[in-house]
Structure 1
Amino acid sequence: MKRSTWTIIGLVTIGAIIFGTMLSDYFPVLLLIGGVLLVVYGFKGKSAPVSNNSLPVLSKKREQTYLESGMSYREIEFFRETLNQAKQEIEKLQANISQNAKLKAIDLRHDTIRAAKALFKELVKEPTRLNEASHFLYTHLPNMVDLTNKYLEINNHEIKSRDTYEKMEESIQIIDQMASLITQDYQKFVADDLEELDVELSIAKQSIKRENQYKEEVR
Structure 2
Amino acid sequence: MLSAMHFITRHALNFFISSALLIISIVNFDIGLFGLAVLIGGYYMSNKLILTIQKRKRSKELGMTKEEYKHIEAQIKLAREQLNNLTQQYIRVRSIKSFKLLNETNKVAKRIINIVHTNPQKFYAVEDFFYAHLPSAVELADKYTLLTKEQVKGTDIHIALEDTRKTLKDLHGTIENDLKLALQSDIDQLKIELDFAKLANEQSREKIGGGGE
Query: Is the pair's TM-score, using the shorter chain for normalization, greater than 0.5?
Result: yes
Q: Whose helix proportion is higher, 1 or 2?
A: 2
Tell me the number of residue pairs that the alignment of Structure 1 and Structure 2 aligns: 161
- Per the normalisation by structure 1, the TM-score is 0.62
| 1:124 has 2:127 as partner | no
| 1:171 has 2:164 as partner | yes
Report 1:49-68 matches (<5 A). Answer: 59=51, 60-68=53-61
Give, in angstroms, the shift of residue 63 of structure 1.
3.5
Give, in angstroms, the shift of residue 148 of structure 1.
0.3
- Residues 155, 71 of structure 1: CA spacing in aligned structure 2 closer, same or farther, 3 A cutoff? same
1-structure distance, mates of 2:135, 2:80: 11
Q: Which amino acid aligns with 1:133?
A: V
Query: Cα deviation per residue 1:87-142 (whole Å; 9 max; x = unaligned)?
Result: 1011211232233322332246xx42232122212222332443332210111000
Query: Cα deviation per residue 1:45-83 (whole Å; 9 max; x = unaligned)?
Result: xxxxxxxxxxxx782323420134343333333222221
Query: Cα deviation per residue 1:171-207 (whole Å; 9 max; x = unaligned)?
Result: 1110000011011011012212112212322333455
| 1:104 has 2:99 as partner | yes
2-structure distance, mates of 1:196, 1:80: 25
Q: Which amino acid aligns with 2:120?
A: P
Q: Which amino acid aligns with 2:170?
A: Q
State percent identity of aligned pairs: 19
1-structure distance, mates of 2:139, 2:89: 10
Q: Which runs of 5+ in 1 are unaligned?
A: 1-56
1-structure distance, mates of 2:157, 2:107: 31
Q: Which amino acid aligns with 2:110?
A: K
Where relative contact order (Cα < 8 A, 6+ residues apart) is larger, the structure is 2
1-structure distance, mates of 2:107, 2:99: 13
- Per the normalisation by structure 2, the TM-score is 0.64
Q: Is 1:66–1:127's contact at 8 Å kept on the other side of the alignment?
A: no
Quick check: which has more Rg, 1 or 2? 1
Q: Which runs of 5+ in 2 are unaligned?
A: 1-47
